[in-house]
Amino acid sequence: MKKIGIIGDRATVSGFIALGYTVFEAENTADAKEALLRLAEDEEYAIIFIVDRYARELEEEINKYSGRKAPAITVLPDALSREGELSFGMMRIKRNVERAVGADILFRD
């Protein structure tokens, strides 16, 4: 069976242990990058979740894997994100929907 990995700060990722996911605590972007590259090359992982704060800094690395069938790399909001700000993950979804549909259908004033 394929695995699911979670990369992020302790406050955000610790709850995922109870769900059986493999958790990689990252204290900084360098730790997150190391975990991301290791998991992305490990064929056992089908899905990798990475918290918003680190995904924002690692967009280039994440984009390298976007054309591959696996692993699917998904951005999670983190416990430390600022309220009221459109998260990096939501910006990616917005951009992908605009590309697919040709218009912004998610965020209207």
To the nearest whole number, what is the mean pLDDT of the chain? Answer: 82
- CATH number of the domain bearing residue 63: 3.40.50.10580
Model pTM score = 0.74
Other CB atoms within 10 Å distance of the CB of residue 87: 19
18 occurs within a structural domain:
yes
Number of structural domains found in the chain: 1
pLDDT at 97 over 80: no
pLDDT at 38 over 90: yes
Structural domain of 39: 3-80
**DSSP line for 85-96:** SPPHHHHHHHHH
